[in-house]
Each structure stands twice: as structure tokens, then as C-alpha cells.
Amino acid sequence: MKWFVPLILISCSQIPIKPYRSVDPELMPYVKDFERDYNLSLEKVTARFYNLDLIMDDRNVVGICEYNYHDNTKNKVFIDTKYWTFASGIHRKMLVYHELGHCVLHRKHRRDKLKNGCPTSLMNPSILKARCFYRNEEYYITELWENRNEL
């Protein structure tokens, strides 16, 4: 059984996608940053673009982690093609880190907020405002790692 952990919603639908085991070249710089930040080697990670409008009822979903509880080396990240074209670099980074947070660090969503009103975690179900991330980037990178293995 497979579960999907989209950025905005929790959904349990199945995605009829061929099995990939690769990273799209456009996503690679963000995956590399993630590897460097956490001293990981993600040779087996899969991260691809997909038109998520085709498979998600909620058009606000811009990223999905297809999480395989039986073999989480088969987890796959899917990023919405349309969102990516207009997202800034910082939003792209937050999105990729969020989905890798699910798929690689086994993080769940986290909805609480900091005293400054910003979400406590990149694992907030909605993408953070850029100013929240800019001001606290080191904190967010650390938080993502420190709460790993929740799934």
C-alpha cells in the first residue's frame, strides 16, 4: 500500500506513474543542497515533475511525497510543473526540502507557529512566506533534521 503526503492536503489516492529512480536536472541543485546540509547521499532518491492538476482534486497541491511504508527507499517526490515555473528560488527550495522532509527524513506535517507568527517548521502543510525562511533559514534547516523519523 502506498500513501501520498501532498504539501497542502493529505491524500490517499494512488498515482498511476511509471516507476522512476532519478532526479530531474532542474531539481538536482536543490537535492544537492539538501545532501550537503544534512551530509546525506541521496543516490536512490526519485524527484520528478508532474502535472499534479491531473491527479489531485485540490489545485493548491504543489508537491507530493509518494511514501512507501513497506520499502521507503522507493519513496518518490513529485513537484508540480506549473508551480515550479513561477516559484522563486526560495519557494522552490522550501518545496523540495518539504517533500524530501517526508520522503527522506520521514517527517510528518507540523502546524504550530513560532512567537513571530511564522510556522515552526518547513513541514507546515503550506509553503512558508519567503520572509519567514530568510530570517530563520538556519533554524528551519536544523528543525527539519532534529525531528526526523516521525513516520
Q: Which residues contact Zn ion (rule: CB under 5 A)?
A: 5, 7
* Smaller CB separation from Zn ion, 7 or 132: 7
Q: How far is the CB of 147 from Zn ion (least distance, A)?
A: 14
98 Cβ neighbours under 8 A, 6+ residues apart: 7, 63, 122, 123, 127
Q: How far is the CB of 71 from Zn ion (least distance, A)?
A: 20
* Smaller CB separation from Zn ion, 7 or 128: 7
Q: How far is the CB of 101 from Zn ion (least distance, A)?
A: 7
Q: How far is the CB of 9 from Zn ion (least distance, A)?
A: 9
Distance CA 136, CA 117 (A): 12
* Smaller CB separation from Zn ion, 43 or 146: 146
Under a CB-based contact definition with an 8 Å cutoff, are residues 31 and 22 in contact? no
> Parallel, antiparallel, or unpaired for β 2-6 and 63-68?
antiparallel
Distance CA 59, CA 80 (A): 10
* Smaller CB separation from Zn ion, 23 or 127: 127
* Smaller CB separation from Zn ion, 7 or 45: 7
DSSP 8-state class, residue 109: P
| Ordered DSSP codes for 126-151 | SPPPHHHHHHTHHHHHHHHHHT----
Q: How far is the CB of 125 from Zn ion (least distance, A)?
A: 6
